[in-house]
Amino acid sequence: MLGSRVILNILSGDPTVAQVSRDPTDVFNDLLTAFLVMGTIVGVVVVAYILHSAYKYKIDDTPAEGQYDIDTSTFADEDETESVARPQLGEIPSGVGKGGGKKLFLSFAISALIVVGLIIFAYWNLLYIEDTPEDAIEIGVDANQYDYEYTYPSGETTSQLFIPADKPVELNVTACHPGECGTPGEGDGEVWHTWHSQDLSAGADAIPGQYTQTWVQESDPGEYRVQCQELCGAGHSSMNFDDGVVVMEQDEFQDWCEDEECMDDEELDNWLNSPAEGDN
């Protein structure tokens, strides 16, 4: 929870990425940390300032005799001298609201700078994520009611995503391929799903007749949860798999893949043994 990897990273003090490029989880963690830190600072400062002001300028609100609110005439003297505009019943208020203008623009400018800065940082990271590593192989993901089917380069299909550690894999996600989405009303076809792995920080909508892409890379072998995050029917709540992604050591994966014939042996060999993409 709360991007638990952030906490794990900090605590373990060791880089999550074994060899080279930042994987999507690193990107997400960096971004989330930056936004959380700035967002919390801004939030705390603004909220504190609001509460402080609301308290500092609170006056004794004992209502005047027989009334429900204060008697404004008790401030008559102050009103003459001060520079703050007070609402008058039936006034035309345009243009006034004396003072506070400079402060307003200063605060606005600062907040704008913070927001724009964060977004520029986010955009830079977006470009990184959108630039799928060249040495990624492509695996097709077909979402349906209510599980996923993964198609390897050889055409082999599985119901779990098996990937080797430290190697990028691109997922080409859909709910049904263009031309194969069936005829409405005849019980076939598919609805909109998503494929999401929070642990691997990857997700994409699975839309009938459309393709979307995302990529994953994970260094710790193990099983990772996959879940559907778009309401897709009565079984949507159960459309989650704790072992949806299985990350294996590279040699283990090689054995598995050769057994299952998940891709051409030579390609597999090249892929696993090639140098990883350079650091970003």
Partner 1 sequence: MADLPPRSSVKRWLVTTNHKDIGILYLITSIFFLVVAGVLALLIRLQMLESGGTILGGAEYNQVVTAHGLLMVFWFLSPFAFAFANYLVPLQIGAKDLAFPRLNAMSYWLYLFSGLALIASFFQGGTHEGGWTLYAPLNVPAFVPRVAEMGETTAVIGLVLFVTSVTLGSVNFLTTIYRMRAEGLRMRDIPLFSMSILLTVWMMLFAFAALLAATILLSSDHLLATQYFTDEHGGSMLWAHLFWFFGHPEVYIVFFPALGAMAEIIQTFSGRRLVGRKWFIIAMALVAVQSFIVWMHHMFLTSINLPIKTIFMVTTVGISLPFDLMVFALIYTMIKGRIRWKTPFLFALGALLIFILGGITGVFLGAVALDYQFRGSYWVVAHFHYVMASGAVALIGGLYYWYPKITGKMYNEFLGKVHFVFAFIGFNMLYFPMFLVWETPRRVFEFPEGFTLWHQVATAGAFLFAASFLIMFYNLFRSLYSDRTVDSSPWAYTGSAEWAIESPPPEGNFPGRPSFASGKLDFVSDPATDGGVEDGHAATDGGVAHASTGHDVHMDHASWWPLLVSLSGLLVAVGIGGIPASYVLWPFAFALPFFVAFLGIEGARQDGRARIHDLYVVLSVPFLLALLGGFHFHHGLVDGFAGANNTFYLTLVGAVLGAYTFAGIGYEKFNVPEPELTEAWPFENVTNTKLGMWTFLGSDIILFGALIGSMIFIRFQFGWTDWWPAAGYTDKAVWPGLVNTYVLLASSFTIVLAYVYAKRGSRRKTLAFLSLTFAGAAVFLVNKAYEWNELYINQGWTHTSDIMGSTYYLTTGLHAAHVIVGMLILLFLIARAYTGAYWSDDEDAHTVEYFGLYWHFVDIVWLFLFPLFYIL
> Could you say which residues in the range 175-234 bind partner 1, by CB under 8 A?
178-179, 181, 184-187, 189-192, 194, 196, 198, 201-205, 207-212, 214, 225, 227-234
CB 145 within 8 A of CB 190: yes
Residue selected from 6, 18, 118, 248 as contacting partner 1 according to rule CB under 8 A? 118
| Binding residues among 248-267 for partner 1 as defined by CB under 8 A | none
CB nearer to partner 1: give 11 or 54: 54
Residue 115 touching partner 1 (CB under 8 A): yes
Residues in region 79-98 near partner 1 by CB under 8 A = 82, 84-98
- Cβ at position 158, least distance to partner 1 in Å: 23
138-160 core/surface letters (b: 16 or more CB in 10 A; e: else): ebbbbbbebbbebbbbeeeebeb
Using the contact rule CB under 8 A, the part of the chain among 163-171, 174-182, 247-255, 264-272 near partner 1 is: 174-182
Which H helix or E strand runs over 242? strand 240-248
We find the least distance from the C-beta atom of residue 257 to partner 1, in angstroms, to be 28
CB of 142 to partner 1, least distance (A): 15
SS3 68: coil
Q: Write out the two tokens for 124.
A: 């830079």
> Out of 112, 157, 255, 265, which residue is the one contacting partner 1 (CB under 8 A)?
112
29/111 Cα distance (integer angstroms): 23
Smallest separation (angstroms) from partner 1 to the CB of 232: 7
Contact between 167 and 217 under an 8 Å Cβ cutoff? The reply is yes
Q: Is 101 in the site for partner 1 (CB under 8 A)?
A: yes
- What is Dmax (Cα atoms) for the chain? 93
270 contacts: CB under 8 Å, gap ≥ 6: none
Closest CB 269 distance from partner 1, rounded Å: 32
120 is written with which tokens? 């520029």
Q: How far is the CB of 154 from partner 1 (least distance, A)?
A: 26
Does 31 bind partner 1 (CB under 8 A)? Our answer is yes
Interior angle at CA 240, CA 238 and CA 244, nearest 5: 150
